[in-house]
Amino acid sequence: MSTQTEPKLVTQIDFARAGQITPQMKEVAEREHRDPEYIRERVADGRIAIPANIVHIKKGMRAFGVGEGLSTKVNVNLGISGDKADAAEEWKKVKIAEDFGADAIMDLSNSGKTRQFRQQLIDETPLMVGTVPMYDAIDYMEKPLVKLTKDDLFEVVRAHAEDGVDFMTIHCGINKSVTKTFKETGRLMNIVSRGGSLLFGWMEVTGNENPFYEFYDELLEICHEYDVTISLGDSCRPGCLYDSNDATETAEMIELGKLCKRAWAAGVQVMVEGPGHMALDEIAANMKLQKRLCHNAPFYVLGPLVTDIGVGYDHITAAIGGAISASSGADFLCYVTPAEHLCLPNAQDVLDGLMATKIAAHAADIAKKVPHARDMDDKMGQARRKLDWDAMWKCALDPVTGKKRYEESPAATEGTCTMCGKMCAVRTVNKIFEGTTIDLGMED
Ligand code: SF4
C-alpha cells in the first residue's frame, strides 16, 4: 500500500492532466462548439487556458477558454487612475464591457481604494478579471517604488489572488540578462510597458534581480493555490515600429518560453503577452515565433498598432494589427481606444475601442474557420436581402448604434434607408424578382 499522498487537484491544468473534465471545460466546450475532450487535451498541454480563479468561480463567473481552436477573446482595460479618479465613469465602462461582448476586464486601478473596486468588480462581473499587481503595489503598500521589497510585491500578488483575480499580468521575463541586451543594443522607444518600466527602475536602483523572476517558484505556488493564470507580461514589447522584432523583444520572449514550461510543471496555467507596435508585414512571423518559442501557450496581444502616426485613431491602427495577429495565431486581443497615447479613455472611447477590437477578433475568427464564426454574417446577409431591419439589429455586433443611426435619418421610401432611398438596389432587385413593375422616376 502506498503511503504517498495524492497531489491535490486545484487548477484546470491539474484536472485536465488527471484526465478529468471540469464544469468550466464543459462550459467552454459548449460555447465554442467543441468536444469537451478537445478542450481537456489542450488545457492539459497548455495550448488552452481557462482563467478562472476558484474564488471567482464560487461567485458565479462564466468560464472562457483562451487558445488554440477557440474564438478570439477581447479584453477591456479600465480602473481608477490617480490623475483622473472617477469611480462612476469606471463603472459605466464595466457596463459597456459586459453589454457589448467583452470577454475580460482588466482592472488597472492604481490609486486610492483599489481593493474595494477590485472586490466589487469580482463580486459583480461574470467576465474574466485580470490585474497587474505591479500597478497597485505603490499605493497598496504605501511605499515609494524603490522601498518595495520582494515580500511587499508578493503580498500584493497574494491579495489579488485571494480577491479572486482570474489572470495577472506579471513581468517575470525582464531579468538581468534581458536588461543587458536592452542596454547593449539600444532602442528608439526604450521600455514602454508600465509594469516593465517600474520593474526595470526597481532593478536598476536596487541592483537586485527581478523578484518575480528570481522567486518565480514562490509566485507559482500562490497562483496554483487559487488557480490564477499567469499572463507573462512583455516588458520589452516594441513601443514604435522601429523597435519591433529587435534583440530585446526576442531575448525576453525566449525567457518567457522557459517560464511557460516552469508554470505548467507547477500546475499553473499561463498566457504570454505580445506587441505593441509592429509593421503589418512583420506581424504574422512574430505570432509564429511566439508560438514556437513559448511552446504554443495562448498569446495575448495589444494590437499590434501598425503605424505610429494614427494618434486619435489608434483603435483603428490596433484593430488592423489585431485582425492580422489573431488570424495568424494570437488568441486574445487587448482593446485599444482612440485615447491611446493621449489620455485616460472615457466611456465612449471604451465603446469605440471595444467595437473596433471585437470586429478585428471576429474577422480573424472567420478567417481561422472557428466553428460557427460566420453564422451571424450569413444571417445578416439574409436579413439585408429581405430589408428586414429588426433582423439586422439581432445580427449586429453593436445593435444599439446601428439602430440609432438608422432611426435618426428616416427614409422616404419604405424599407430603404436614406443612403439610396427609392434607388435602393436591394429593393429594386427584390421587386424585379417578385415580378413587380418598377419605374423609379414615377414612383412615390
Ligand atoms: S438604400 Fe442603399 S444602403 Fe440602404 S439598404 Fe438599400 S441598397 Fe442598402
Q: Which tens digit of pLDDT belongs to each residue from 257-295?
A: 999 999 999 999 999 999 999 999 999 999 999 999 999
Over 164-214, what HEC string results? CCCEEEECCCCCHHHHHHHHHHCCCCCCCCHHHHHHHHHHHHHCCCCHHHH
What distance lies between CA 278 and its chain's CA centroid?
18
Rounded to the nearest angstrom, the distance between the alpha carbon of 442 and the centre of ligand 1 is 19
**What residues form DSSP beta bridges with 131?**
107, 168
Question: Among 419, 430, 431, which is best to mutate for testing ligand 1, by the most ligand atoms less than 8 A from CB?
Answer: 419
Classify 102 in phi/psi space as left (phi over 0), alpha (psi -120 to 50) or beta: beta
What percentage of the chain has pLDDT greater than the value 90?
91
- Specify the range with the lowest mean pLDDT, choosing from 104-118, 314-328, 357-371: 104-118
Whole-angstrom CA distances from 342 to 303, 308, 314, 346 are 16, 13, 10, 12
CB within 8 Å of 402: residues ≥ 6 apart: 392, 393, 396
CB neighbour list of residue 335: distance below 8 Å, 6 or more residues apart:
74, 75, 76, 77, 102, 315, 318, 350, 353, 354, 356, 357
Does 103 have pLDDT greater than 70?
yes
Picking from 441, 342, 280, 376, the residue whose alpha carbon sits closest to that of residue 84 is: 342
* Residue 441: pLDDT band with limits 50, 70, 90: low
pLDDT of residue 4: 64
Closest CA to 157 of 192, 118, 184, 191: 118
**419 CA to centre of ligand 1 in angstroms:** 6
What are the cell numbers at 154?
A: 508578493
Mean pLDDT of 55-67: 98
Cell output for 343:
489620455
How confident is the model at residue 145, as a pLDDT? 92
Instruction: Give, using CA atoms, the residue closest to atom 8 of ligand 1.
Output: 424
Q: What is the pLDDT of residue 374?
A: 97
What local confidence, expressed as pLDDT, does residue 444 receive? 46
Give the integer Cα–Cα distance in Å for 415 and 122. Answer: 45
Ligand 1 atom closest to residue 426's alpha carbon, by position in its atom list: 7
Name the grid cell of 339.
485615447
Atom 3, ligand 1: residue with shortest CA distance: 419
Q: pLDDT tens-digit profile of 389-426?
A: 999 999 999 999 999 999 999 999 999 999 999 999 99
pLDDT at site 110: 87
- pTM confidence score: 0.95
CA 415 to ligand 1 center in whole angstroms? 9
Candidate from 426, 427, 428, 443 with most ligand 1 atoms within 8 A of CB, to mutate = 426
pLDDT at 112: 78
Upstream peptide bond of 304 is cis (omega within 30 degrees of 0)? yes
331-366 burial string, b = 16+ CB within 10 Å, else e?
Answer: bbbbbbbbbbeeebbbbebbbbbbbbbbbbbbbbbe
Q: Find the helix or strand (DSSP H, E) in which 273 lies.
A: strand 270-274
Task: Please list, in sequence order, all residues whose beta carbon lies within 8 angstroms of the beta carbon of residue 339, skipping any fewer than 6 positions away.
Answer: 345, 346, 349
What's the gap in Å between 380 CA and the centre of ligand 1?
Answer: 14
Average pLDDT over every residue of 53-74: 98
Reply yes or no on whether the pLDDT at 443 is more than 60. Answer: no
Distance 399 CA to ligand 1 centre (A): 17
Instruction: With a cut of 90, say whether residue 126 has pLDDT above it.
Output: yes
* Banded model confidence at residue 442, pLDDT cuts 50, 70, 90: low
Atom of ligand 1 at shortest distance to CA of 425?
Answer: 7
Q: What's the confidence (pLDDT) of residue 83?
A: 80
21-30, 133-142, 231-240, 335-344: least confidently modelled range: 133-142
pLDDT value of residue 307 = 98
Angle between helices 216-226 and 247-265 (to 10 degrees): 50
Residue nearest (by alpha carbon) to ligand 1 atom 6: 424
Q: Which of 183, 231, 186 is nearest to 204 (CA)?
A: 183
Protein residues whose CB sits closer than 6 Å to any atom of ligand 1? 416-417, 419-420, 424-426
Contact 336, 366 (CB under 8 A): no
Which residue among 424, 429, 430, 432 has the greatest number of ligand 1 atoms within 8 angstroms of its CB, and so is best to mutate?
Answer: 424
Specify the pLDDT at position 84: 79
Indicate which atom in ligand 1 lies nearest the CA of residue 418.
1
At 311 the pLDDT is 97
Q: By alpha-carbon position, which residue is closest to atom 4 of ligand 1? A: 417
Q: Give one DSSP letter per residue of 203-264, joined into a string.
A: HHHH-PPPHHHHTHHHHHHHHHHHTPEEEE--TT--SSGGGTT-HHHHHHHHHHHHHHHHHH
- Please choose, from the candidates 222, 230, 166, the residue with its C-alpha nearest in 3D space to the C-alpha of residue 195: 230
Inter-CA distances, 37 with 17, 22, 268, 372, Å = 12, 10, 20, 19
> Best mutation site among 386, 392, 417 for ligand 1, i.e. most ligand atoms within 8 A of its Cβ?
417
CA 425 to ligand 1 centroid distance, Å? 6
- Give me the mean pLDDT over the 98-114 stretch: 92
Average pLDDT, the chain: 95
Going from the Cα of 385 to the center of ligand 1, the distance in angstroms, rounded, reads 10
